[in-house]
Amino acid sequence: KAGVTQTPRYLIKTRGQQVTLSCSPISGHRSVSWYQQTPGQGLQFLFEYFSETQRNKGNFPGRFSGRQFSNSRSEMNVSTLELGDSALYLCASSLVGTASYEQYFGPGTRLTVT
């Protein structure tokens, strides 16, 4: 079974621009979560989607948004990029009905904002 895939793997953007990252979960997984990882703040939860609905949201500004499609694929968007948005963005998927502790992470998208 294929793992979680994320595209693109690397991205360089300029301050003020916007960016869209994509995540394809493991087949059959309906929950998709997004995390931001930086050296200073570590791994932080952004939001979680299930059945095209946002179920949980972390403490991030409204510039960070996401959506989930009917095939469970998810995208996250960051508008008006700031230098501090440079990070590794990780997507994770999990099965519905299982305990929430076991999530499968993708390789991440490395975003650099200049």
* List of residues contacting another protein (CB under 8 A): 4, 31, 33, 35, 42-45, 48, 50, 55-56, 58, 88, 90-92, 94, 97, 99-108, 110
User: What is the smallest separation between the CB atom of 109 and another protein, expressed in angstroms?
Assistant: 11
Comparison of 25 and 81: residue with beta carbon closer to another protein: 25
Q: Which long-range contacts (CB under 8 A, 24 or more apart) does 45-52 make?
A: 46/76, 46/89, 47/76, 49/74, 50/96
Whichever of 62 and 97 has its CB closer to another protein, that residue is 97
The single-letter code of the amino acid at 8 is P
Token pair recorded at residue 99: 């305990």
Strand partners, 76: 21, 66
Measured from the CB atom, the residue of 29 and 81 that comes closer to another protein is: 29
